[in-house]
Structure 1
Amino acid sequence: MNFASRVIAVLFLLCGSLVLLRLRNHSDSSQAFFRTSGRNNQGGCSGRLTRLKDLGIKFPIKYARRDIIIKVNPDLDRSSLTQIDAPFLSEVQIVDPVQSPDWGLEQCSPPLTLEVPTFPRQPANASHVIFGISTYIKRMDDSIPHLQRSLAHTSARLIVLLIDSGEVTPDSKEMAALETRMRALGIEATVVGAPKGSLMQVRYFSLVKILYDNRDSATQWISLLDDDTFLPSMHSLVNTLDTYDSSKEWYLGAMSEDWWSVMVYGMMSFGGGGTFLSIPTAAQINNNYDTCAERSTANQGDIRVFECITAHTTTKLQPVIGLHQADLGGDLSGFYESGRLPLSLHHWKTGWHFEQKPEQRALNTYPMAKMHLVSDVCGDCFLQRWQFGSDTILSNGFSISTYPTQNALAELVKNKEMDKVEDTFMPPREVNSFMKGYEHSIGPLRPKVEGKIQYKFLDAKVEDGGVRQYYIYRALDKEPDIVYEIFWTRHEIHV
């Protein structure tokens, strides 16, 4: 090869290398763009808006979405408020999957990784507890999904004492069908009929005897619940019970949050928060059952249990932090946005019966089983709080809240006011006592934040290897509603 040919060959190689280098750089910058924008080959922004049509909302809407990937950190404890420097979502965009089902988003927030404490992947072992509920058969349709979330595959036994709305015992076929349905969901349920014409307070009290008679060698506790009592973390509940010596007499529960009720009814366990009796205490009630039943004139079953224990034992109520009767009226946001993980929640089905307005009671009914689905991905993260940037807080499973100014939230955090419960409730009932409100139960309160915007939980679904949550802000006038979607996974799945 002569000199000229060699020069041409070298120039050709140099040009080829430059082209390859430019192509490689172009490829790297494109991949970086896809990573930051979320437009990857696994789905990105397109092809996922049609799911919104199943939510029963009015289109068009303003919409934004974020994927959250959960990372387990064994060195973490569950925090009341975890601060994240990044903003939560990109700007909302107008979408209408009815008119444009294949239209993608112009902006996508990249996936966000959040750390949570280690959590058990297997259900808790609650084989030493028997739960009991007395209710109407027609109310069980609403209760079963929540009982499944609480009790399924835990080996806890459940006895359901039933009547129908006409105060008549359901027939054996109905009860057998209900029992089969619950057992198919992993709930070790036994369904029995209450005597015809027996009053609710009598049925509730009789549950103690029924549960005691059905104990086995492993049983350490019997528990009385209402059909609208939800247990968010069986692991936490079992761990709490394990701190008490069940061979001794124990009467565990929660007083009402309403101090008026405590003043009137006494230091008793209000049944909706869950009452837990050790076997020695249940034995005392069983031994004195007929006497207690004959002498009581109480119009509520939990009062009859309290009466019998008081009359025949020296055992007193041991209040358990985390059990909640939830006798709170008005806007319950302060309670659910406090960052705490309850052991029990009550009144999710119909609200508190002392609500000032019936329409408010309707607002305070919550699809607790759906709200709780996210715990399948991140353990005890239900109702856990994360602060994003300077003005946004996610109360997981309840709301996304944006504060009116950056300083409003910063001052609350700086002064540790976020450790207190926001007083969003209706005024407590008047009572002649130094204690006027709810502090004896839920602790110190802080003033309600005016101007805070809330995106309330709308729906959740288990699909695509994770849990999708939807939150909505109902806009005023003719403005579109705003919907936020969060997709929670333990692995990097984007669909």
Structure 2
Amino acid sequence: MKSLIKTNLILLSSSLCAISLFIFISILFFTTSKIVTLDIGSFSPQATKSNPTNVNHLVFGIASSGNSWPKRQKYAKLWWNKKFKGCVFVDNLPHEENDNNINVPPLCVSQDTSKFNYTYRHGGLRSAIRVARVVKETVELNHSNVRWYVFGDDDTIFFPENLVKTLSKYDHRLWYYVGAYSENYEGSQTFGFGMAFGGGGFVLSASLANVLAKVFDSCIERYSHLYGSDARVFSCISELGVGLTYEPGFHQVDMRGNIFGLLAAHPLSPLLSLHHPDITDAIFPNMTTSKSLQHLFKAANVDSQRILQQTVCYERQFSRTISVSWGYAVQVFQNNVLLPDVLRVQETFKPWKENHVLAGVYTFSTREIHHDPCKRPKIFYLDNVSSGKDGIVSSYTKSFHNCSNDKTSSKNLEVIKVVTNKLDLDSKQLQNPRRQCCDVLNSNSGHLMEIAIRECNYEELIYMH
């Protein structure tokens, strides 16, 4: 009997131990699962919805020099705000100091780079090393609450609101290298379609930039043979295993002359940057380069996300095709033109290198300008833009049209008014953009055309009637 009781007690004790162990493991599993779930959730896009990216999360690193900054700071004044974070890096302080009464970035003197080799065989400038290290030195400014680092040249014109909107698509806690290659095929082929061209600007997520800054100096020692700064940055990012996230709103503008065609057929994405204003023509007729850019920013300041967005509508009455590049220009074709042809970039510009074997070959679809001026579209350039209770109204006036025998229905047309609401790109439209539609409104005046831009209906097609 005693033996039986003892045996039962041993079995009971074993069962209690087993039950306790099971309970302990269950509690541990439950606790661990909750921790893992929270950890995963903290890295989901939903976690940033309550704290969306804004311009205060950006830091700018601008490459310049003591000689060029006095002439180039006029471009920074177009887009810089005194609330922004960042610095313009120069080799030495210019004789002319920054105008403290105007919004321009502060100046930082770059660190000495004489210890680094520069062995590019075809000349070049060893300042490419100093400019490349702007990435490292910008991170070392140790600004707080940074999500993205934005880099460009002193003649890179940024559109900060559009940068913020575009970058909101991405999680800054992941490693991102965002930018675009050159419009010039020869340049992109030479330096690589995976490299973001520095003049067009590029962006690094803070998580990537912090790691890159730590290894950058040891990395660029391996690339003394390269020509430019952006090639060095690209090479070191490649060594970290990161590829380019392409955003077509960055514009290197490796072309010369009149870039109307490039601007009037802007990609279906926000305008992020423009480069080389000193090399290209003024973008509006009868204006200086500076005045024309200020004029563009009048529209950008009213509706930054819509600037240059191309909308096409077909007028049934006169069989005309109208292309609106909002905030810049309206083109009126005196016939029906298929939409894919309207969307091609007109070759109004000249190649970067006219004598090169690949001169005139670009990284986008182009169409030639018709040899007969009378068969070219009439162009109406932005005159004024205003915002009120009825929406945003922009007006465009006719440019000189070199046609001595104009018998078209648009002969007397002088002004085009475009009515729309402010564009606010949501995450769906940023991820899967869709072009908007427009309607030509009835008018009793042969001198005025009115157009309304709106969202397309669900199954609506943009086509010739």
Q: Same fold (TM over 0.5)?
A: yes
Q: Does 1:250 align with 2:176?
A: yes
Counterpart pick for 1:304 among 228, 232, 239: 232
- Structure 2 counterpart of 1:241: 167
Q: Does 1:128 align with 2:57?
A: yes
Deviates more, 1:248-257 or 1:367-376: 367-376
1:348 and 1:364 in contact (8 A); partners too: no
- Aligned CA RMSD, in angstroms, stands at 4.4
Distance 2:309 2:70 in 1: 28
Q: Does 1:398 align with 2:398?
A: no
Counterpart pick for 1:210 among 122, 127, 137: 137
Counterpart pick for 1:381 among 306, 327, 335: 306
Counterpart pick for 1:181 among 101, 105, 119: 101
- One-letter code of the match for 1:445? T
Distance 1:336 1:459 in 2: 17
Counterpart pick for 1:283 among 210, 214, 236: 210
Matched ranges for 1:340-359 at <5 A: 340=267, 342-351=270-279
1:401 and 1:452 in contact (8 A); partners too: no
1:169 and 1:193 in contact (8 A); partners too: yes
- One-letter code of the match for 2:101? R
Counterpart pick for 2:366 among 445, 453, 457: 445
Distance 1:379 1:238 in 2: 11
Q: CA deviation at 1:455?
A: 4.4
1:248 and 1:280 in contact (8 A); partners too: yes
Distance 2:212 2:137 in 1: 11
* CA displacement 1:39-83 (0-9 Å, x = unmatched): xxxxxxxxxxxxxxxxxxxxxxxxxxxxxxxxxxxxxxxxxxxxx
- One-letter code of the match for 1:245? D
Instruction: State the SS of the aligned residue for 2:55.
Output: coil
Distance 1:369 1:263 in 2: 34
Distance 1:241 1:463 in 2: 27
Distance 2:362 2:183 in 1: 5
- One-letter code of the match for 2:300? S
Q: Does 1:162 align with 2:90?
A: yes
- Structure 1 counterpart of 2:296: 371
- Structure 2 counterpart of 1:66: none
CA gap of 1:284–1:375, structure 2 versus 1, over 3 A, is closer
Distance 2:393 2:70 in 1: 23
- One-letter code of the match for 1:191? L
2:150 and 2:204 in contact (8 A); partners too: yes
Q: Which has the higher contact order (CA 8 A, sep 6+)?
A: 1
TM-score normalised to the size of structure 2? Answer: 0.58
Instruction: State the SS of the aligned residue for 1:272.
Output: coil
Q: CA deviation at 1:276?
A: 1.0
- Structure 2 counterpart of 1:274: 201
CA gap of 1:471–1:309, structure 2 versus 1, over 3 A, is same
- One-letter code of the match for 2:229? G
- Structure 2 counterpart of 1:97: none
- Structure 2 counterpart of 1:201: 128
Instruction: State the SS of the aligned residue for 2:236.
Output: helix
Q: CA deviation at 1:303?
A: 1.2
Distance 1:228 1:485 in 2: 33
Q: CA deviation at 1:217?
A: 3.4
2:67 and 2:94 in contact (8 A); partners too: no
Distance 1:250 1:291 in 2: 21
Q: CA deviation at 1:438?
A: 2.4
CA gap of 1:470–1:351, structure 2 versus 1, over 3 A, is farther
Report how many aligned residue pairs link the two structures.
334
1:471 and 1:483 in contact (8 A); partners too: no
Structure 2 portions without partners, runs of 5+: 1-52, 115-125, 405-411, 422-465
- Structure 1 counterpart of 2:428: none
Distance 2:272 2:216 in 1: 28
Q: CA deviation at 1:448?
A: 3.3
Q: CA deviation at 1:394?
A: 4.3
- Structure 2 counterpart of 1:192: 108
Distance 2:279 2:414 in 1: 26
1:160 and 1:192 in contact (8 A); partners too: yes
2:55 and 2:84 in contact (8 A); partners too: yes
* CA displacement 1:355-380 (0-9 Å, x = unmatched): 9xxxxxx9995732321212333453
Distance 1:365 1:261 in 2: 25
Distance 2:383 2:149 in 1: 34
Distance 2:208 2:180 in 1: 17
Structure 1 portions without partners, runs of 5+: 1-123, 356-361
- One-letter code of the match for 1:258? N
1:323 and 1:342 in contact (8 A); partners too: no
1:146 and 1:369 in contact (8 A); partners too: no
CA gap of 1:328–1:317, structure 2 versus 1, over 3 A, is same
Instruction: State the SS of the aligned residue for 1:334.
Output: helix
- One-letter code of the match for 1:262? S
* CA displacement 1:365-423 (0-9 Å, x = unmatched): 573232121233345332244658525544334334343x33xxx2334xx43233334
Q: CA deviation at 1:275?
A: 1.4
- Structure 1 counterpart of 2:399: 473
* CA displacement 1:320-341 (0-9 Å, x = unmatched): 2322222234542221111545
Instruction: State the SS of the aligned residue for 2:56.
Output: coil
Q: CA deviation at 1:143?
A: 4.7
Counterpart pick for 1:229 among 152, 156, 171: 156
1:459 and 1:471 in contact (8 A); partners too: yes
Distance 1:217 1:334 in 2: 41
CA gap of 1:472–1:301, structure 2 versus 1, over 3 A, is farther
CA gap of 1:191–1:471, structure 2 versus 1, over 3 A, is farther
1:351 and 1:364 in contact (8 A); partners too: no
Distance 1:152 1:423 in 2: 35
1:257 and 1:326 in contact (8 A); partners too: yes
Instruction: State the SS of the aligned residue for 1:252.
Output: strand
Q: CA deviation at 1:263?
A: 1.9
Distance 1:377 1:281 in 2: 34
TM-score normalised to the size of structure 1? Answer: 0.55
Distance 2:299 2:55 in 1: 22
Matched ranges for 1:20-169 at <5 A: 125-137=54-66, 139-140=68-69, 143-144=72-73, 146-152=75-81, 155-163=83-91, 168-169=92-93
